[in-house]
Structure 1
Amino acid sequence: MSKTKDRSAPGAGVPAPVAGPVTPPRVSARRRRPGLIALAVVLITGGGAGGAVLLMESGHRTEVVTVVRAVPVGQVITDRDLGEASVALDPAVKVADRSDVVGKRAAVELKPGSLLSSGQVTSGSLVRPGEQVVPVGLKPEQVPASSLAPGQKVQIVQVPGEDEEASKAQAEPISARVVRVGDPTPGTGSVVVDVAADRTETPLLAAWVSTGKIRLLIDAQGGA
């Protein structure tokens, strides 16, 4: 019996697979991190809120007038005495306008570094009705060591000379108020002080001043 040789090769007679569409590999989605997302939201929100606050503050800043040099009571305010600053200010606060302040007098003592309000200045004069101004020239030894300032109340007394009789009746002091203090004269140190006094006493005061035999005394605060 002859053996029939199996000529079929492995896979013989099996149809070849038909090529079809290739399915792309599945890519896994990136893992979301809720913590980072929440942090990003917080940062964005916080930055927006901070910007809003800065915008609001900058919108409420006001240009104000400041004092850069000391100005005593009653002295005329000059442009050199003032400066400007931008600050956050309550709208209820009445600020002074620079153009309206220059040329007026200080109603209170103005100190450097302070803000200037409209209530701290006045257009009124230190010379009241019924008064007159007398310039009083004072030598260094006649000027009090304490600084004189406009608005201060003073007493002016007559000092008898050495050649006058000691028994001569001493005249009553004349009450006055400082209106302006001049700058000391270079070399001599003498200074002229304008004072306002009752017009009934100014002729006598002027006569005293002409002799140079006077002294100026400063009244205590609140003194008459």
Structure 2
Amino acid sequence: MPTPPRRLGVRRRRPAVLAMAAALIAAGGLGGAVLYNSSGQRIAVLALARDVPMGQVLSSDDLVVAHIAGDPALHPLDARDLEHTVGLRATTDLKRGALLVKSDLTSDPATQPGQQIVGVAAKRSQLPATRLQPGLQVLIVYTPDSTKADGATRTPDTMAATVSGVGRADTDGTTVIDVAVGPNDGPRLAAWVAGGKFQVILAPRNAGGS
């Protein structure tokens, strides 16, 4: 029995329908690829290769180039700024893997012109529990006997200073800390240190060296 003409017409149109569907699928995939490429564009930025404490000067070994998707909410330093970033000082504790932003760095030195650097050998009991770092503001309090020879109460002397370097602790727990003080304060602080009667305390964040 011959095939009805209506069924022949359906069969003849089916390849055209399939071809059109394939074209639409291909176009949709192409559009998705274009959308992915435009939204997933990656940029080269600077990140931390290791932890950097506040006050430390950055070296090239501290930095690594990372490739991330561009995001207008993020403002990391461009990888092309690497040369200008090395030699700057950290304004806060920087953690390994974090992206580096402008506010993390400063070109201001830890010490100011004219300041004197004094080495302070301090025992654990003379230091705060918080780890001291270059750039940190401290107060050094002279702690002689609390009373004078005439029986009057002695008021402790205090000197503002900026930590410029921290050595490693000796076997007895003593740590030598380099601090920057005012042009006329170095000899007085050295005398305090020689007598061993002093205490190092953290200064308010706003406090500056004298």
With normalisation by structure 1, the TM-score equals 0.72
How far did 1:66 drift? 0.5
Equivalent in 95, 107, 110 of residue 78 of structure 2: 95
Q: Check the 8 A contact 1:75/1:180 in 2, yes or no.
A: no
Equivalent position SS for 1:173: strand
What is the deviation of 1:174? 0.7
Matched, 1:175 2:156: no
SS of equivalent residue, structure 1 residue 31? helix
Q: Which residue of 2 aligns with 1:117?
A: 101
Q: Is the 8 A contact 1:95 1:118 kept in 2?
A: no
Report the RMSD for the aligned CA atoms in angstroms: 3.0
Does the CA-based 8 Å contact 2:145-2:154 persist in structure 1? no
Residue 89 of structure 1 deviates from its aligned partner by: 2.5
Amino acid at match of 2:38: M
Q: Offset of 1:179 from its aligned partner?
A: 2.0
- Pick aligned residue for 1:42 from 20, 24, 30: 24
Decide whether the 8 Å contact of 1:77 with 1:106 is kept in 2.
yes
AA of the residue aligned to 1:89: G
Residues 161 and 180, structure 2, Cα contact 8 Å, conserved in 1: yes
| Consecutive unaligned residues in structure 2, runs of 5 or more | 1-7
Q: How far apart are the structure 1 equivalents of 2:129 and 2:103? A: 31
* Alignment size in residue pairs: 194
Secondary structure of 1:32's aligned partner = helix
Fraction of identical pairs, as percent: 36
Instruction: Please state if 1:77 is matched with 2:61.
Output: no
The answer to whether residue 127 in structure 2 is matched with residue 143 in structure 1 is yes
| Structure 1 counterpart of 2:159, one-letter code | I
Separation in structure 2 between the aligned mates of residue 78 and residue 175 of structure 1, nearest angstrom: 29
Q: 2: distance between equivalents of 1:95 and 1:120?
A: 14
| 2-structure distance, mates of 1:135, 1:54 | 58
Q: Distance in 2 between matches of 1:68 and 1:194?
A: 27
CA offset at residue 122 of structure 1?
2.5
State yes or no: 1:209 paired with 2:183.
no
Task: Give the structure with the larger helix fraction.
Answer: 2
From 40, 44, 52, the equivalent of 1:63 is 44
> Normalising by the residue count of structure 2, what TM-score does the alignment of the two structures yield?
0.76
Equivalence for 2:136: 152
8 Å CA contact 2:139–2:161 kept in 1: the answer is yes
8 Å Cα contact 2:143-2:156 kept in structure 1: no
SS for the counterpart of 1:215 is strand
**How far apart are 1:51 and its partner, in Å?**
2.5
Question: After the TM superposition, which parts of structure 1 deviate over 6 Å for at least 4 consecutive aligned residues?
Answer: none
| Superposed displacement of residue 161, structure 1 | 6.1
For the 8 Å contact 1:95–1:117, the answer to whether it is kept is no
State the secondary structure of the residue aligned to 1:217: strand
Do 2:55 and 2:136's aligned partners in 1 also have CA atoms closer than 8 Å?
A: no
CA distance in 1, matches of 2:59, 2:109: 16
